[in-house]
Amino acid sequence: MKALVYHGPGKMQLEDVPKPALREATDAVVRVTKTTICGTDLHILKGDLPAVAAGRVLGHEGIGIIDEAGAGVTRFRPGDRVLISCVTACGKCENCRRGMPSHCEQGGWILGNLIDGTQAEFVRIPFADTSLYAIPAGADEDAMVMLSDILPTGYECGVLNGAVQPGDTVAIIGAGPVGLSALLTTQFYAPANLIVIDLDDNRLEVARQFGATAVINSADGKAVGKVMALTGGKGVDVAIEAVGMAATFGICQEIVGAGGHIANIGVHGTSVTLHLEELWSRNITITTRLVDTVTTRLLLKTVMSGRLKPKQLITHHFALDDIIKAYDTFGHAGRDRALKVILTNQIALGGT
Ligand SMILES: NC(=O)c1ccc[n+]([C@@H]2O[C@H](COP(=O)([O-])OP(=O)(O)OC[C@H]3O[C@@H](n4cnc5c(N)ncnc54)[C@H](O)[C@@H]3O)[C@@H](O)[C@H]2O)c1
Ligand SMILES: [Zn+2]
Ligand SMILES: [Zn+2]
């Protein structure tokens, strides 16, 4: 089968690799029909995640059709349409049982990281019963792909960890698909002001269409002063970091108001200075989280009802064969006005 294989920082290639086979009774092999690229894949290519070994098939998002199910899989049968969660959960270990499957003893975020991922024609999914979701009849398949990672990530790591309350002033640093997912889902809680900061005017314009009350291009280095002016010098109740850089985490530390929250989402590859000499007396909370995907069902229902419209996040479509082109587009989002790209596995559609 064809798969996008990582060969160390800056190197990847679409290659022929063996089709995955069942290894455990609880595995399923899924024929991937649609997948996408995440900002985290860009971090992997930058070398920010050294645990990802050369030879790994990338990708942790997508939907597909069950091709084979192990004898221990009870909830899915070949032919079923499924949503693949970016987090693999055994459902039984201590961390799964306490609602933290991101740290499942035998799973967690392993797809396209520690085991081969979804940017391929087929993918092996361990613990299929607790790591896949049935796709409801009538669902928009492109929209479903947004539920593998970015919507639960924006919601869990950003909005829930940030403890957004009605009337809050929320700043989101980073208007990529994850930051915009936080922007969409933070509106469940009716914040009063929603400030979005990025370097890309196109993404900021999208943020405005998605409900931002103010947008700031931070390229001039003046974002902190602008946020302080917008908040009457008080700072924000919740600062959501959705980039993964020292500079953007730094902005969060400078704009968080007394009693506020900094909710980090970004994957960081280098150390960040924590300014406790400024923050020790400010009653703030800093949270970090690897997405647990414990809200996937809730978000699926909001998508099916039409209340949440993640399809707006999709700007480009490619065939899986053109994945290198798709990486170029997603990696040059400003140039190509790109948000989420959908990759369709033509072979899957052709039914061979
Ligand atoms: N915690 C988790 O479980 C989890 C899950 C998924 C993604 N992530 C991380 O979330 C982050 C966002 O993901 P994405 O897919 O939206 O990525 P993305 O690369 O598409 O978006 C990042 C955005 O940050 C902006 N940006 C870059 N440098 C900036 C700066 N100095 N100031 C302001 N804005 C800047 C870019 O213009 C871009 O719009 C990434 O770090 C990704 O790895 C974390
Ligand atoms: Zn991701
Ligand atoms: Zn577990």
Per-residue pLDDT of 165-194, as tens digits, reads 999 999 999 999 999 999 999 999 999 999
For residues 314-332, average pLDDT: 97
Q: Which ligand is nearest to the CA of 179?
A: 1
| Residues within 5 Å of ion ligand 3, judged at the Cβ atom | 90, 93, 96, 104
Q: What gap in Å lies between CA 57 and CA 13, rounded to an integer? A: 10
* pLDDT at 346 (0 to 100): 82
Digit-coded pLDDT (tens) for 122-146? 999 999 999 999 999 999 999 999 9
60 C-alpha to ligand 2 centroid (Å): 6
Whose CA is closest to atom 15 on ligand 1? 39
What is the amino acid identity at position 263? A
pLDDT classification of 352: cutoffs 50, 70, 90: very low
What does the alpha-carbon distance between residue 151 and residue 163 come to, in Å, rounded to a whole number?
16
Mean pLDDT of 295-319: 97
Q: What is the mean predicted confidence (pLDDT) over 41-51?
A: 95
- Distance (angstroms) between ligand 3 centre and the Cα of 92 equals 5
Judge whether residue 297 has pLDDT over 80. Answer: yes
Give the β-pairing of 340-344 and 28-35: antiparallel
Is the pLDDT assigned to residue 20 strictly greater than 90? yes
pLDDT of residue 247: 97
Residue 174 CB–ligand 1 contact under 6 Å: yes
pLDDT at 350: 53
pLDDT more than 70, % of the chain: 98
For residue 322, the model assigns a pLDDT of 98
Q: Which of 165, 161, 202, 206 is nearest to 187 (CA)?
A: 165
Summary mean pLDDT of the chain: 97
d(Cα 21, Cα 307) in Å, to the nearest integer? 39
Query: Ligand 3 mean position to 131 CA, how many Å?
Result: 10
| pLDDT value for 349 | 57
Residue among 35, 37, 40 whose CB has most ligand 1 atoms within 8 A, to mutate: 40
Please identify, by atom number, the ligand 1 atom nearest to the C-alpha of residue 251.
32
CA nearest neighbour of 127 among 115, 141, 113: 115
Give exposure, 281-303, as e/b (b: 16+ Cβ within 10 Å).
eeebebeebbbbbbbbeebbebb
CA–CA separation, 169 and 69 (whole Å) = 47
Q: Is the pLDDT of residue 347 over 80?
A: no
Q: Do strands 132-134 and 81-84 pair parallel, antiparallel, or not at all (unpaired)?
A: antiparallel
Q: With a cut of 70, say whether residue 351 has pLDDT above it.
A: no
Instruction: For ligand 1, say whether the CB of 223 is within 6 Å of any of its atoms.
Output: no
Q: What predicted TM-score, i.e. pTM, was given to this entire model?
A: 0.96
pLDDT at 195 over 90: yes
pLDDT exceeds cutoff 50 at 226: yes
- Residue 248 near ligand 1, beta carbon < 6 Å: yes
Any ligand 1 atom below 6 A from CB of 241:
no
